[in-house]
Structure 1
Amino acid sequence: MSKSASPKYTVPGLSTHEGGVIIDLLRMRLHALNDLSLTLKHVHWNVVGPHFIAVHEMLDPQVDRVREMADATAERISALGGVPEGTPGVLVTERTWDDYGVGRADAIAHLGALDLVYTGIIEGHRAAMTEIGKSDAVTEDLIIEQLRSLEQFQWFVRAHLESSGGTLATARTHTERQAAKAGKKAAKPTSTR
């Protein structure tokens, strides 16, 4: 186990080693969810432009649901005999990703960047689900439930970035700034003259 000490106990049916591995996986999911809820609020406060109100109002329910996910994850860590750490210092020290890099910006630019954020969160959850599923169906179910919401939220974001032909504006981007730029560029009307 990388960051936490081996638990002295865990749930019946799992060894303390298995519990410890799951705790470490959940620890990073907790960091990702806490970071996501803060990022979504950052976007909520800094979004501007013609799509302001739609995006502003779309994000608060996502924030609420992501906070519920973080709480459920932290409680599962505790049930497994671990110690959930949700302080900003621990999150920043242990995370493996950079801070969200878009400030005050057009709604479509933020949605482009959020598409990449959601991709990272979903990929991390799916990787954790695969590992956790080897030993603990209960925790795997928790992650699957969270993925349902996270994938739906990404769909809401992507609906603003997709063309009628099915092309996703952020498809070939690798950074939040590139995705923000691609989203904004795709939203510009083209001249028909």
Structure 2
Amino acid sequence: MRVPNVGDMTSFTAPGLSTEAATEVTAILQERLSALNDLHLTLKHVHWNVVGPNFIGVHEMIDPQVELARGYADTLAERIATLGGSPKGTANAIESDRSWADYSIGRDTVQAHLAALDLVYDGFVKSHRDGIARTGELDPITEDILIGQTAELEKFQWFVRAHLENSTGQLVNAGADSEKAAADSAR
């Protein structure tokens, strides 16, 4: 987690929140902001590169996810500013804050992309849940924002998983530990 630099925080924060708590929450939110910016770019990449049967349904299913992730990024950036921070929405911020690998699947089938995307959502939702746990005692308002976002992102993961589930309730990418392995298992 990147600690805000001098000049990244104002001399004030939200009433009732200490400057120290605001600084910690802002650092958590900045990492989540970068993750959301990366997620919406990844989703758009999938949207552009998915091919094969069920193309149009998945192509159109992805766009609302892109818009939701963009909106969530805006919400977190505005929360950072509300707490007295300076949100970073640049490509460099994504790279600096990134603790995850770049999306690794190019032009590929619907099933391959959805299997890889399922792993992206696994990591993203887990990290958002970690943010919920870390902000709960510090700032329940931020915790609430992250809870609401996580619920919707879990629903989108369910949409993705519905395409990967077989008649016995097993995911075709079960046990895959990388996007490539997940994509390979789904082709």
Which of 16, 19, 22 is 2:25 aligned to? 22
Which of 159, 170, 175 is 1:172 aligned to? 175
SS of match in other structure, 1:158: helix
Q: Deviations over 1:35-78 (max 9, x none)?
A: 00000000000000011111101000110111000000000000
What is the aligned-residue RMSD (CA, Å)? 1.1
CA contact (8 A) 2:50 2:107 kept: yes
Q: Tell me the residue number matched to 1:3.
A: 3
Query: How much has 1:108 moved relative to structure 2?
Result: 0.5
CA contact (8 A) 1:109 1:180 kept: yes
Give the whole-Å Cα distance in 1 for the aligned partners of 2:42 and 2:138: 32
Q: Tell me the residue number matched to 1:12.
A: 15
Matched-pair identity in %: 52
Q: How does 1:110-125 map to 2 (within 5 A)?
A: 110-125=113-128
Which of 35, 38, 48 is 1:35 aligned to? 38
Gaps of 5+ in 2: none
Give the whole-Å Cα distance in 1 for the aligned partners of 2:182 and 2:137: 35
SS of match in other structure, 2:144: helix
- Verify: 1:80 aligned to 2:83, yes or no: yes
Q: How does 1:32-111 map to 2 (within 5 A)?
A: 32-111=35-114
How many residues are treated as equivalent by the alignment?
A: 184
Give the whole-Å Cα distance in 1 for the aligned partners of 2:15 and 2:154: 31
Q: Tell me the residue number matched to 1:191.
A: none
Give the whole-Å Cα distance in 2 for the aligned partners of 1:93 and 1:128: 18
Give the whole-Å Cα distance in 1 for the aligned partners of 2:155 and 2:33: 19
Query: How much has 1:31 moved relative to structure 2?
Result: 0.6
SS of match in other structure, 1:5: coil
Query: How much has 1:14 moved relative to structure 2?
Result: 1.1
SS of match in other structure, 1:50: coil
Runs of 4+ in 1 over 3 A off after TM superposition: none
Query: How much has 1:12 moved relative to structure 2?
Result: 1.1
SS of match in other structure, 1:153: helix
Query: How much has 1:107 moved relative to structure 2?
Result: 0.5
Give the whole-Å Cα distance in 1 for the aligned partners of 2:56 and 2:85: 41
Q: Deviations over 1:92-128 (max 9, x none)?
A: 1221111100000000000000000001110000000
Which of 156, 160, 167 is 1:157 aligned to? 160
CA contact (8 A) 1:51 1:108 kept: no
Give the whole-Å Cα distance in 2 for the aligned partners of 1:21 and 1:34: 20
Query: How much has 1:183 moved relative to structure 2?
Result: 1.9
